[in-house]
Amino acid sequence: MYRYDEQDHKLIRERVAQFRGQTERYLAGELSEEEFLPLRLQNGLYVQRLAPMLRIAVPYGLMNSTQVRRLAHITRKYDKGYAHFTTRQNVQLNWPNLEDVPDILAELAEVEMHAVQTSGNCIRNTTTDQFAGVAADELVDPRPYCELIRQWSTFHPEFAFLPRKFKIAVCGTDEDRAAIRAHDIGVQIVKNDQGETGFQVFVGGGLGRTPILGVAIRDFLPETHLLSYLEAIVRVYNQLGRRDNKFKARIKILVKAMGPEEFARRVEAEWEQIKDGADELTVEAIQWAKRFFPEQPYKTFKAGHGEAVLRDQAGGDKAFARWLERNTFPHRVEGYQAVTLSTKPTGIPPGDVTDRQLEAIADLSDEFSFGEVRVTHEQNVVLADVEQEKLFALWQAARKHGFATPNIGTLTDMICCPGGDYCSLANAKSIPVAEAIQRKFDDLDYLYDLGDLDLNISGCMNACGHHHIGHIGILGVDKKGEEFYQVQLGGSANQDASLGKVLGPSFSRDEMPATIGKILDVFVENRQPEEFFIDTYKRIGLQPFKERVYAKAS
């Protein structure tokens, strides 16, 4: 993975010193609340219903075990001993003291981490596929490009006060595991007929109040022009994006109002001016970035040997067989498999882990996966490079630490925002709904039978829980001061991305598990063999679900 050199260290140290000064001026009353606000946001610090919240950047979701141990230490020393993995592959602390934040940032800087631009109206952490570099279906490893984007966007002097926040995602496979069309810019790695690497560029995606999927404004951007093209897009947006209304300030609104063709024309005109300038990536720069993501020192295994071992073990142990099926992912190297550690056992807020669990993750990564850890946008943790022969041992260790719930990709592997328990903007609580659904559907055989199913929950229309792109989406709404839940069906984050449609009138919290039950019944009754929920939905539409859910009791 990327390692800091002296320049990175210096810049991050200078940033910590700058923020320390700003915090001191704020506490001394020399910096107003209004002025401090965007400064602290750009250093990851929100102030929430119960306490400040610090969002720590995990660039494209990748960490080493030293960093994970440092996080564990920080949660113990400055917080309540747990942390939260977010849907943008970052980490959040829910209870730090404002006064301590500069010290926390200094401790992070020592292990090459920071909280820069994890919030605020600037370019945020770039995200990608959690299986980057190991996926069998990958065209090109996206991580070197993500790192180049990280450096280009970090402390970008021109783009620190954009109309609104700005998110970029990069994807190197056909199956989009990074939800790139739900981002302000989505970068899809492609190859042209000559076999050269380039990018298809989407703009104007986003969730929130006005969910929109990004549209392609360029089908093939040569590799060396990645940063100049991004600079052109953000520059057009910085000049023309709306600043009069925060709800209309995202780039998606500009692209929609102007029309994608006109927006693309302006980007191309700006890009023409700068494309051969200093922002053009040299071949050496790309090579330099790639050097940080070398082939791991994999062992050589005989073809089929690992699978045979696994078949044996799985044959004798149904629980292991289940875990193997749901929580592991094919690896491009013979004899290896990627493993997802589930942070979603029933009854725990999705994405929450304790300090001890963080240490366990670090230990497991050292023992089984070259000391590297990835955070997924479904709020789980991936160990990407596990020998098949060691999967059984890893599974046993993961069970001990509560990470082996074999539910990856199933109904109970939900995305869920913090909601009314923690968030001052919430219309409704979301965690208790997640828990009630997990409790109702705890029969693993039933879950497997249902197959891949994304259920996403947000406590309000800000959509932190990505409810629009869940196959089943749940949105907290306020009805005359009471908490209700709207259900949407048919969203998808994949390459055939779509936004969910509202089923009908909303439900009380108590009605939710039964409502989900009825939806699943309609699916099971209508599905063709091996069909997934989303495909059945696309085939039969909303109506059958509607009829069942709102049928009058007879």
Partner 1 sequence: MPKPAEKSTVKKTPKAKTIGAQPENPAQLIVDGKVADNQWNLLPLTGEEEVSADNLVAGKIILPASVWLALREALQDRKQEIGVWLDSDETADLIGEYAGELPLIAAHFPAFTDGRGFTAARLLRERYGFTGEMRAVGNFIRDQLSYLTRCGFNAFAFQGEQPLSALTESLRDFSDSYQAAVDQPLPIHRRRALA
- Binding residues vs partner 1 (CB under 8 A): 5, 7, 10-11, 14-15, 17-18, 22, 35, 38-39, 121, 148, 151-152, 154-162, 227, 235, 238-239, 243, 273, 277-279, 281-282, 284-285, 287-289
Using DSSP bridges, classify how beta strands 91-93 and 472-479 pair: parallel, antiparallel or unpaired: unpaired
CB of 415 to ligand SF4, least distance (A): 11
Residue from 206, 214, 406, 473 in contact with ligand HEM (CB under 6 A): 206
Residue 11 interacts, among ligand HEM, partner 1, ligand SF4, none and using kind-specific CB cut-offs from 5 to 8 Å, with partner 1
CA distance linking residue 145 with residue 343, whole number of Å: 28
Residue 494 interacts, among ligand SF4, ligand HEM, partner 1, none and using kind-specific CB cut-offs from 5 to 8 Å, with none
Decide: is 470 part of the binding site for ligand HEM (CB under 6 A).
no
Residue 227 interacts, among partner 1, ligand HEM, ligand SF4, none and using kind-specific CB cut-offs from 5 to 8 Å, with partner 1
CA distance linking residue 476 with residue 29, whole number of Å: 38
Residue from 250, 275, 390, 468 in contact with ligand HEM (CB under 6 A): 250
Decide: is 468 part of the binding site for ligand HEM (CB under 6 A).
no
Which residues, in sequence order, are CB contacts of 202 under 8 Å at separation 6+? 180, 181, 183, 185, 186, 187, 188, 214, 215, 216, 217
Decide: is 464 part of the binding site for ligand HEM (CB under 6 A).
yes
CB of 483 to ligand SF4, least distance (A): 11
55 touches 91 (CB < 8 A): yes
CB of 206 to ligand HEM, least distance (A): 4
CB of 390 to ligand SF4, least distance (A): 38
Other CB atoms within 10 Å distance of the CB of residue 439:
12
Decide: is 323 part of the binding site for ligand HEM (CB under 6 A).
no
Residue type, 359: E
Which segments within 364-406 are labelled E, that is strand?
372-375, 381-387
Burial of 346 (0-12, 13-18, 19+ CB in 10 A): middle
- Look at residues 235, 224, 238, 220 and name the one whose alpha carbon lies nearest to residue 267: 235
Query: For ligand SF4, which is the closer residue by CB, 54 or 232?
Result: 54
Residue type, 157: P
Given the rule CB under 6 A, which residues bind ligand SF4?
A: 417-419, 423, 425-426, 458-460, 462-465
Using DSSP bridges, classify how beta strands 455-458 and 415-416 pair: parallel, antiparallel or unpaired: parallel
Query: For ligand HEM, which is the closer residue by CB, 410 or 430?
Result: 430
CA distance linking residue 294 with residue 470, whole number of Å: 34
Helix (H) or strand (E) holding 91: strand 91-93
Query: For partner 1, which is the closer residue by CB, 64 or 154?
Result: 154
Decide: is 40 part of the binding site for ligand HEM (CB under 6 A).
no
Residue 294 interacts, among ligand SF4, partner 1, ligand HEM, none and using kind-specific CB cut-offs from 5 to 8 Å, with none
Give 401-463 as a DSSP string.
TT---S-TTSTTS-EE--GGGT-TT-SS--HHHHHHHHHHT--HHHHHHH-S--EEEESSTT-
Query: For ligand HEM, which is the closer residue by CB, 68 or 91?
Result: 91
CB of 11 to ligand HEM, least distance (A): 26
Decide: is 82 part of the binding site for ligand HEM (CB under 6 A).
no
- Look at residues 452, 454, 445 and name the one whose alpha carbon lies nearest to residue 322: 445
Decide: is 463 part of the binding site for ligand HEM (CB under 6 A).
yes
Query: For ligand SF4, which is the closer residue by CB, 417 or 534?
Result: 417
CB of 170 to partner 1, least distance (A): 16
CB of 211 to partner 1, least distance (A): 25
CB of 97 to ligand SF4, least distance (A): 21
Helix (H) or strand (E) holding 360: helix 355-368
Q: What is the DSSP letter of 244?
A: S
Three-state SS annotation for 313-349? HHHHCHHHHHHHHHHEEECCCCCEEEEEECCCCCCCC
Residues that bind ligand HEM (CB under 6 A): 48, 53, 84, 86-88, 92, 164-165, 182, 206-208, 250, 417-418, 422-423, 425, 462-464
